[in-house]
Homo-oligomer: A and B are copies of this chain.
């Protein structure tokens, strides 16, 4: 039963977003669809067993949800960030960017709780489904950012070459209007070695349209990995990020919901990659729009 309702709420979300053949990400309808899906997921998760996991990540503790019926368990959930008994009446408020009464830390925890809710529920309900948590998270981030900018994104760019026009599928790109730069927003639940794609796409945009025409902002959920013995590690490749930032292209910001310390430290050394908690994006939105690099 839970599974059927869960799947139909997810399908509704995807339908709303695709509204009329366009990417319709900033709508109130999508706020509601996201709120319904995350509220349902959180209520469902409340019924499951929480099992502590051995954390090999300094200063972070993790648990997983276990569904005894399906015999499946979830990805690691950050204990310090996940809000148990989250008041699901507040889901829609948050998706409408009404953060009243929440300080930075509470906002961060609320956003993490909502983001992980669908993903963890899905892990325990469906077999080997890696795709829908990714799509959910894309819509989750895309919606919040589209509302903050009051602009719907595109999912492709058109390149006029001397001979013909090429359309290239991309992550979200936002046209912020004359006088502003544009925004290139890749979204990933985790990055691993595939992260080089993010810098490479930024490089293509820089090459096509000129450097600093698009600001690159990566949004990611976490870098945790549950190993075979059920202990939790964070898979981080800071040396490789440094190399990509030096030699491929320059990302303007990287935001995480469960931020790895190893990446946060990158802002203090050359080439100074700015990695921050995702909640910080809302106070930086004017900076992101502005055509400058401060």
Chain B binder among A63-71, A86-94, A203-211: A203-211
Known A197-B196, A197-B200; judge A247-B207 contact (CB<8 A).
yes
- Assess the A244–B194 pair: CB atoms within 8 A: no
- Assess the A244–B196 pair: CB atoms within 8 A: no
Shortest Cβ distance from residue A147 to the other chain B in the assembled complex, whole angstroms: 29
Who on chain B is nearest to A199 by CB?
B200
- Assess the B200–A203 pair: CB atoms within 8 A: yes
Who on chain B is nearest to A168 by CB?
B243
Whole-angstrom CA separation of A200 from B161 in the bound complex: 21
A interface, over-half SS: helix
Q: How large is the interface on A (under 10, 10 to 19, 20 to 34, 35 or more residues)?
A: 20 to 34
Give the residues in chain B near A208, CB-CB below 8 Å. Answer: 243, 247
Q: Which of B168, B197, B239 contacts A197 (CB 8 A)?
A: B197
Chain A contacts to B: CB under 8 angstroms? 159, 161-163, 166-168, 194, 196-197, 199-201, 203-204, 206-208, 239-240, 242-244, 246-248, 269-270
- 19 A-B contacts (beta carbon < 8 Å): A159-B243, A162-B270, A163-B270, A167-B239, A168-B239, A168-B240, A196-B196, A196-B197, A196-B201, A197-B200, A200-B203, A200-B244, A200-B248, A203-B247, A204-B243, A204-B247, A204-B248, A207-B246, A208-B247
